[in-house]
Amino acid sequence: MEAAEAEVRLLLQEARESIEAARSYRRELQQRLRGLHQAREQIKDSATSTRDVLEQHFSDLKGTLKKLLDERLMSLLQEVDVIEQESIKPLDECQKLIEHGVSTADDLLREGESAVDGDVGQQNEKLCNFTKKALHIQLDSLPEVPSLVDVPCLSAQLDDCLLTILKNQIFRHGTVASRPPVQLEEFVEKPGGILVRWCKVDEDFTAQDYRLQLRKSPGSPFEDVYVGSEPEFLVLHIDPHVDYQFRVCARGDGRQEWSPWSVPQSGRTSLVPHEWTAGLEGYSLSSRRNIALRNDSQSCGVLYSKAPTYFCGQTLTFRQTVGQPDRRDSLGVCVEQRSGDESLQRDKAVCISTNGAVFVNGKEMTNQLPAVTSGSTVTFDMEVVQLGPCSNEGGNFKLRVTISSNNREVVFDWVLDQCCGSLYFGCSFSYPGWKVLVF
């Protein structure tokens, strides 16, 4: 009896597992169906969009070509009119002269015939006047009429090779790509930003430049955020917990036109942006409070972050414009804010001086980084290395710190007496002119 019940329980267990497996299998199939539907919709939508673009483009070309041909025809017709008018004008003048001569000859002829056929008494006087008049008119002087070979004979020279050239150019104009040569690859969350990476999917395509665009909502237009040769870009000023759409295209080596856009993809960050604390005398902040400028005030002190927004596992980056350096200058992170300090070169803090010296809990390390230069970046990366039990009462706690500057880095362990889930960052500069962007 017990064996039978055990067998039933086993069968029930196997049945339940099979049911769960079937449900999981069904969910997976449904998800794949949705993927197929999305793929089919993407093909149809992109095909429709491509047809619209092609039809609009060639319609515009037709209109432009017709306009250009009409303008050229009008120019040639005007040229014919000018040549015709300039060539006929001297002929018209010659015709008027000849017609005047014919009229004069008719008058002279009538007068001569009258003198010859007149009365004998008056004939002598009429013949004398006629003879004088005929000599005055110079009947042997005739206007010159140009021969046909000397006058313009207009014609149109039309080179049929234009049609061949246009035909060859038109047949090579435009291409249809089944997929763009670059695609978005990865979105990395950053405080107040997203690091966007992309890659080539067409190995035969040689990229010269990339162009990254984003939009905040589906109805808004895409806007350029980066044009350059790097295959990644950190987009800042991103609102947390908001989906942004990105797309990227490329320009081939030696080409002027851009490739088709990649498939738009959404990216977001859940990390609030890093901000400096406002109101500290000696520092002026940008509107987003991610840029601090050391002003001309004589007041000295450490400018801290508004909140402990740096977490282990992230990369904290400072990018600066340099001023006059001082050995007390510092850029770094700390466990807590503390008033009255002139520098982060103190306990419970790690930092780098503008001359490249590295300080851990106020002590200078033997390893040193290059001096901070204008436009360079200083990065801090940390990971937790637990030494012993950690509780609210404290305990041994170790962070492995990597500080990088100008393509060099130092790695060390930072031992603390308390657990630190998050850290403040800070900076201090003795002289004005320093400007620091944090992200």
Q: CATH no. for residue 394?
A: 2.60.120.920
* Whether residue 302 is found in the same domain as residue 424: yes
End-of-domain residue from the set 241, 269, 297: 269
Dihedral over Cα of 280, 283, 284, 288: its sign:
negative
Q: Where are the alpha helices (DSSP H) in 246-335?
A: none
* Whether residue 312 is found in the same domain as residue 379: yes
- For residue 331, CA distances in Å to 202, 377, 436 come to 43, 11, 9
Does this model's pTM top 0.95? My answer is no
- Give the distance, in angstroms, between the CA of residue 230 and the centroid of all CA atoms in the same chain: 13
Hey, what are 328's tokens? 């007390």
Q: For residue 225, what are the domain limits? A: 182-269
Q: Which long-range contacts (CB under 8 A, 24 or more apart) does 56-59 make?
A: 57/174
Token pair 């061949």: residue: 164
Instruction: Confirm whether 432 is domain-assigned.
Output: yes
Strand partners, 394: 391
* Whether residue 252 is found in the same domain as residue 299: no
* Whether residue 72 is found in the same domain as residue 164: yes
End-of-domain residue from the set 151, 172, 193: 172
pLDDT at 393: 47
Structural contact between residues 360 and 346, judged by C-beta atoms closer than 8 angstroms: no
* Whether residue 115 is found in the same domain as residue 144: yes
Neighbouring residues of 352: CB distance < 8 A, sequence distance ≥ 6: 330, 331, 332, 358, 359, 369, 372, 378, 403, 405
End-of-domain residue from the set 108, 141, 172: 172
Closest C-alpha to 191, from 102, 34, 90, 314: 314
Strand partners, 404: 379, 409
Backbone angles phi, psi at 277, to 5 degrees: -75, 130
Look at residue 84 and give its three-state secondary structure: helix
Give how many domains the chain has, as a whole number: 3
Q: Give the Cα separation of 355 and 387 in Å (integer).
A: 32
Token pair 């006629």: residue: 130
Q: Give the Cα separation of 210 and 224 in Å (integer).
A: 11
Hey, what are 311's tokens? 């977490």
Closest C-alpha to 262, from 276, 251, 242, 246: 246
Closest C-alpha to 291, from 281, 300, 303, 302: 303
* Whether residue 112 is found in the same domain as residue 76: yes
* Whether residue 365 is found in the same domain as residue 412: yes
Q: Give the Cα separation of 51 and 176 in Å (integer).
A: 10
* Whether residue 363 is found in the same domain as residue 227: no
* Whether residue 206 is found in the same domain as residue 305: no
Q: Give the Cα separation of 139 and 173 in Å (integer).
A: 72
Q: Give the Cα separation of 171 and 322 in Å (integer).
A: 57
Walk along the chain (439 residues) and give the pLDDT tens digit of each residue: 677 778 788 888 888 989 999 999 999 999 999 989 988 988 898 889 889 989 999 999 999 999 999 999 999 999 999 988 988 888 888 888 888 878 877 777 777 777 777 665 566 777 777 677 767 776 667 778 788 888 888 888 888 888 888 888 888 888 777 789 999 999 999 888 999 999 999 888 889 999 999 999 888 899 999 999 999 999 988 889 999 999 999 998 888 889 989 999 999 999 889 999 998 999 999 998 999 999 998 888 999 999 999 998 889 999 999 999 999 999 999 999 998 899 999 999 999 999 999 999 999 999 999 999 998 899 999 998 875 555 444 457 889 999 999 999 999 999 888 888 789 999 999 999 999 999 9
- For residue 342, CA distances in Å to 32, 145, 284, 306, 338 come to 60, 107, 17, 18, 10
